[in-house]
Amino acid sequence: MKALHAIISGRVQGVGYRAFTKNKAKLLGLKGFVKNLPDGRVEVYAEGEEEKLYKLLNYLREGFLLSNVVDIKFQLLEARRNYADFNIIH
Active site residue 58: no
Q: Among the options 36, 81, 82, 87, which is catalytic?
A: 36
Q: Give the angle subtended at the CA of 56 by the CAs of 83 and 47, to the nearest 5°.
A: 20
CA 49 and chain centroid, separation: 14
CA 58 and chain centroid, separation: 10
Three-class secondary structure of residue 61 per DSSP: helix
Distances (CA, A) of 87 to 60, 62, 70: 16, 20, 23
Q: Among the options 18, 23, 58, 80, which is catalytic?
A: 18
Active site residue 41: no
Active-site residues, by number, are 18, 36
